[in-house]
Amino acid sequence: MLSGQVGLRASAIGLRQPRIASILENWILLPEPDSRSPKPVSMPSTHKKVIVRKMDRDSVSGYVSPAQFVQEGKLELLNTAGNVVAMDLREIKGVYFVREFGDSESLTRKTFTSRPRSEGLWVRLRFKDSEILEGLMPADLTQTIPEGFLVNPPDQRSNTQRIFVPRTALESLTVLAVIGAPRRPRRGFTEDQRQVPMFEEQI
């Protein structure tokens, strides 16, 4: 659950079905405007646009706070109607963080055509409906929350920037490789080029 102040404000004004921007402005404390140089109020950058794809192939659009969008096994979403809803993770296949709502969250490529260049864990996810998706995860697993995995899709130029996949939606997750920065040779040490590197591609 969000903080008490935030929850009360969102639910109270949600009864009147106001504009979505008005609700999001009440989720944070905005500074007093400077009368000498007035600036338009923009959408809080802390709230990200998402399209939630459910297990029954239905989808819901809305906003989440990336810091705390999963609470007690449920996704907390501010939908486009202006209501805060809690969705059970067991009903969700993926939460797609998108640039725009108007474009599709569908991926043009679900697998890498070559070895990724960015650092992280190169993973392959198999969903319970047999769909396959590859992506990159942080190599530091302490950044992973218990309820699921946050992955970057192969095509970063698409509308989908990141995907949260609940554990309950997966059949398996396989680490294909650990992509890291090249090692710096130790001073005074020459690597034997004849030695064949091991465990470089897979773990």
Tell me, yes or no, whether 60 lies in a domain. yes
Tell me if 128 is assigned to some domain: yes
Q: What's the pLDDT at 6?
A: 38
Specify if 200 maps to a domain: no
Q: Is residue 90 part of a domain?
A: yes
pLDDT of residue 188: 57
> What's the pLDDT at 84?
93
Domain assignment present for residue 37? The answer is no
Greater pLDDT, 104 or 186: 104
Write down the pLDDT at residue 29: 36
Q: What is the pLDDT of residues 127-180, one digit of tens each?
A: 999 999 999 999 888 778 899 999 999 988 889 999 999 999 999 999 999 998
pLDDT, position 45: 54
- Can you tell me the distance from the alpha carbon of 18 to that of 181, in angstroms, rounded to the nearest whole number? 49
Determine, yes or no, domain membership for 169: yes
Measured at the CA of 135, the angle between CA 130 and CA 136, to 5 degrees, comes to 145
Does some domain include residue 99? Answer: yes
Residue 203 pLDDT > 80, yes or no?
A: no
Model confidence at 97, pLDDT cuts 50, 70, 90, reads very high
Tally of domains within the chain? 1
What is the residue whose two structure tokens read 């809080």?
Answer: 44
Region 41-50: mean pLDDT is: 66
Q: What is the mean pLDDT of the chain?
A: 76
Rounded to the nearest 5°, which phi and psi values hold at 112?
A: -80, 140
From residue 28, alpha-carbon distances to 15, 31, 76, 86 in Å are 19, 10, 16, 20
Structural domain of 143: 4-31+42-179
For 157, residues 6+ apart whose C-beta sits below 8 A from its C-beta are none
Residue 137 covered by a domain: yes
- The model's pTM is 0.67
Q: 């400077």: which residue's tokens?
A: 34
User: Helix count (H) and strand count (E) of the chain?
Assistant: 2, 11
The answer for residues whose C-beta is within 8 angstroms of residue 42's C-beta and 6 or more apart is none
